[in-house]
Amino acid sequence: MASLLNIGITGLNAAQAGLVTTGHNISNAATPGYSRQSVVQSTQDPIFSGAGFFGTGTRIESVKRSYSQYLENQVLAADTRRAELETYTAQVGELDNLLADADAGLSAAMEQFFQGVQDVAANPSNVPARQSLLSSAESLVSRFQTLAARVDQIRDSTETLIAGSVDQINTYAREIADLNVQITSVQAAGSSLPANDLLDQRNELIRQLNQYVRVSTVEEASGAVSVFIGTGQSLVIGGQVSVLSASASPDDPQRLAIALETPSGGRVIFPEGVLSGGQLSGALSFRRETLDPVQNQLGLIAAGLGLAFNEQHRLGMDLDGAFGGDFFEGLSPTVKGVDGAASPVTVAFDAAGAANLTGDEYLLTVDTSATPAYTLTRRSDGQAVNAADVGLTVTLGAAASLVDGDQFLIQPTRNSARDLAVAIQDTRLVAAADPVVGNTTLANAGTGNLSEVHTVVLGNMDGLPADNKPDFNDIVMTFNSASNTLTPAATGLSFIPATLSFNPATDAAGKTFTLAANRSGVAFEVEFKISGVPSNGDTFTLSANSSASDIGVSDNRNMVALGELQFNKSLLVRRDGSGTPVAGTATATFQSVYSQLVSTVGSKTREVQVGVQAQERLMEQASASKEALSGVNLDEEAANLVRYQQSYQASARVMQIAGRLFDEILSIAQ
């Protein structure tokens, strides 16, 4: 009877274990990360008798959870990529909305500004038109500054997101390490007796951590799990945690760099792009791939517009008869010392103009053994470049102050949109006229005509404009019908070329010339057109403009040239195979660069939005597969309750019968 009673007891215990486990499953059906548990039973060792082996009941081997590392890895891979793209989408969406907004964007402001230029060109002596031009210039500058400020806000938000992600990663890492210690302790008897609930809690923490940065894990024999990030850098080893930090980058204090703290107190900075997946990677990728280029390209438009407009404005003459000055100011590259480098370095935009600017960033390394005493490399690809080829002029301090190895980050256009400002406030200083005028002598016998005179270069005036006004003797060009040439002459000036070829038989419709007048170096270059059929000895004269004459007040030639900048290709010059810019091959207008910027950001926004949708679908599929194995099915658990209840009742019945039989035996003995 004792054996039958024992069998009933083991069945009763097994049924009770099943009921407890099923109840545990039901109560945790909504618990995140919970894996369904089930009781593992096996038969107890049987007893041998002459008639064979008789069973002695059942026993509980363990309580296991329904879990697959393969399915878990699929969920982790899909989820970390989803979190990365979701973060990227949220950030780039703000940028896309900002740039593409018809009211807040740059297109309308540039259109209004150049309309102001056209209004002055139509009536150069009109003071209200000039005032309107200055007002529209202020509006354009304000729009640049507003966009720059909003981009800076997005950058600050991104940096905050990066810092917050690092804090969350450290928090989850410490919690995982703590659970490792607990699991190792409670599973000291061996992995056959798993701490299921603790393992689920740890897996849920790993899933949460994986949403901030992609992780890989290795489970140790002790039950602890090691967590790795990046290219294999350890984050958690058993109960030990490697702490991440987000602190100012050595080469850009306004930019956070991610580093791994070493036990000795040092920091190992992660190169950008090493950390993949999760919210942190999404923020880093957005900053690197979209935010930096957008801010640099926006600055490229501001710098390009300012430099090109200034260059042309300086070729003109204001209402006081003086040469035009800079129309815009605040145009200078940003230079930052790396790791506290303090050697004096001055960087300016090259006098060649804006066409050579690229929107890239550069790293200058002092090397006194080189000529010049530095090397300049493009940050995007590490390619060495010449400063002049990328639109820059670099000036180093005294040789004694240079320290080999010192590095400087040069961001030519990063802050140009923020710093751009209008340099003039007086309407009289708007240089609408051209400093050179031309006329055809009335006494000429032929039909030759001089027209379309405008200055294209003002170089080394070298004393010509003593009062900052055009002051040179008339340049008289005499036609020789025998040689079909025009010969320019003026006191104190020499010319390149010395003679101009003009054949009335083929050039009567008009031929354009560029004449360089020299006095101790290039003073200026003038472009003009000769047409018709001049007679021998006919003369054509180029003279200094005068503000006292009617043409000095109503002359609009320089303002027309300024208006043409709206449609001229002034940016992004073509380059040969060695990267050297090809002069005169600029490929883009200011508006086209901005349109391309808006299009690029819009395309990237759509790309990551589609990526998020795809990853969400993959996540759903991976989660469904995992849920099918690990999730709690309440209908199934309800059936299990009935099954274990019946098993419990049956085992109790076995014990009841064993007791009655034992009572019968006792009654026989009486």
**pLDDT tens across 239-284, in order?**
999 999 998 888 788 889 999 887 777 788 888 889 999 999 999 9
Domain extent for 357 = 334-412
C-alpha–C-alpha distance, residues 67 and 36, integer Å: 8
Name the pLDDT band for 190 (thresholds 50, 70, 90): low
- Bridge-partner residues for 568, per DSSP? none
End of a domain among 521, 544, 567? 544
* Mean pLDDT value across the chain: 89
C-alpha–C-alpha distance, residues 552 and 545, integer Å: 6
**353 assigned to some structural domain:** yes
What pLDDT, on the 0 to 100 scale, is given for residue 308? 93
Out of 20-34, 129-143, 224-238, 653-667, which region has the weakest mean confidence (pLDDT)? Answer: 653-667
pTM of the model: 0.88
End of a domain among 520, 544, 568? 544
* 368, 450: one domain: no
* Residue 402 predicted with pLDDT over 90: no
Name the pLDDT band for 2 (thresholds 50, 70, 90): low
Question: Cis omega before residue 372 (within 30°)?
Answer: yes
* 455, 527: one domain: yes
* 463, 375: one domain: no
What pLDDT, on the 0 to 100 scale, is given for residue 462? 46
Query: What share of the chain in percent tops pLDDT 90?
Result: 60
**657 assigned to some structural domain:** yes
Write the pLDDT tens digit of every residue in 579-590.
Answer: 888 888 989 999
* 351, 403: one domain: yes
**18 assigned to some structural domain:** yes
Q: Are 360 and 410 in contact (CB under 8 A)?
A: no
What pLDDT, on the 0 to 100 scale, is given for residue 604? 95
Query: What share of the chain in percent tops pLDDT 70?
Result: 96
**598 assigned to some structural domain:** no
* 440, 534: one domain: yes
Q: Are 560 and 553 in contact (CB under 8 A)?
A: no
* 453, 500: one domain: yes
- Bridge-partner residues for 257, per DSSP? 247
Task: Provide the H-helix boundaries in 323-447.
Answer: 416-419
What pLDDT, on the 0 to 100 scale, is given for residue 551? 58
C-alpha–C-alpha distance, residues 154 and 110, integer Å: 23
Query: Which residues are within 8 A (CB) of 18 and not within 5 positions of it... i.e. 6 or more apart?
Result: 39, 640, 643, 644, 647
**612 assigned to some structural domain:** no
**131 assigned to some structural domain:** no
* 462, 396: one domain: no
* 387, 455: one domain: no
Long-range contacts of 57-61 (CB under 8 A, 24+ apart): 57/6, 57/7, 57/8, 57/9, 57/10, 57/11, 58/10, 58/11, 58/14, 59/10, 59/14, 60/13, 60/14, 60/17, 61/192
Sheet holding 267-269, edge to edge: 244-249, 252-261, 267-269
What pLDDT, on the 0 to 100 scale, is given for residue 267? 82
End of a domain among 544, 571, 596? 544
Question: What would the two tokens of residue 492 be?
Answer: 């104190």
Write the pLDDT tens digit of every residue in 308-355.
Answer: 999 999 999 898 888 889 999 999 999 988 887 777 889 999 877 789
**192 assigned to some structural domain:** no
**523 assigned to some structural domain:** yes
Question: Cis omega before residue 263 (within 30°)?
Answer: no
What pLDDT, on the 0 to 100 scale, is given for residue 191? 62
* 451, 532: one domain: yes
Tally of domains in the chain: 3
